[in-house]
Chain A
Amino acid sequence: NAGVTQTPKFRVLKTGQSMTLLCAQDMNHEYMYWYRQDPGMGLRLIHYSVGEGTTAKGEVPDGYNVSRLKKQNFLLGLESAAPSQTSVYFCASRPGATSSYNEQFFGPGTRLTVL
C-alpha cells in the first residue's frame, strides 16, 4: 500500500495564479484532511471531509476550496494564489467514526511558494 500520496511535491506560483493539489489514499479511509504548516505555527486545518461528496471548513479556510468527488481523493484548490499562501501543505486520512482506530495518517507534503 502506498498510504497517503500528494501531488506535486514542489510548486512555485506567481501571485494570482491558480493550482490544484491532489491527495490520494488507498486505505479506504472515510475522513480526509488538508493542513498547512508554517514555522512556529504547528499544523492548522484548512478543510476536511467526512465522506465522499462532503466537505467542511477548518481553522483557516479562506482562499482555498476543496472537493471530494471520489472516496480516495481529496483536492485542494487555490483560485488566486497570494504570497501568504506560501507554506507546506499536508494531507491526512483516517478511518471513519465507527472505527476505534482514529489515528490520522499523513502524506509527505507539498512545498508551495507564491512569488
Chain B
Amino acid sequence: AQSVTQLDSQVPVFEEAPVELRCNYSSSVSVYLFWYVQYPNQGLQLLLKYLSGSTLVKGINGFEAEFNKSQTSFHLRKPSVHISDTAEYFCAVSGRGSEKLVFGKGTKLTVNP
C-alpha cells in the first residue's frame, strides 16, 4: 500500500517570492507521482507527473518537481509565484500497476500582494 504526507497544511507567501510545497510518500513498490491543483470551487487539474526517466519534472504554470527516491520525496517548486497561484495543491501516489491514486491531505498556498 502507498501513503502520502504533505508536510505543510498552509503556506503563505508574498507575490514574486519562491515557494516549495513538500511531499513525502511511502511505498513498497515503484511508484508514479502526481501534483494536482484545485482552484476555489473547482475540480482538480493535473500540474505535473513523474512516471520514469528524468527526476526533474516540469509542469504547467511554471511549476516543477523533483523525484528523490532515496528521500522518498516529490517536492513542488516555483521560483516566482503570482496571486493567481493561490489554490490548494495535492500530492498523489500510485503504485506501478495499481488502479488507484492515494492523495495527501493538501497544502493551501496563499499568495499575498
Chain A interface (Cβ < 8 Å from any Cβ of B): 4, 31, 33, 40-45, 48, 50, 58, 90, 92, 97, 100, 102-109
Contact = CB atoms under 8 A, between A and B. Distances in A.
A42 B103 contact: yes
Given A48-B100, A58-B100, A97-B99, A103 B49 contact: yes
Nearest to A56: B99
Contacts, number: 45
A45 B100 contact: yes
Interface in B1-55: 9, 32, 34, 36, 42-46, 49, 51
Interface of B: 9, 32, 34, 36, 42-46, 49, 51, 90, 94, 97, 99-101, 103-106
A90 B90 contact: no
Nearest to B41: A109
A100 to B, nearest CB: 7
Contacts of B44: 43, 90, 92, 106
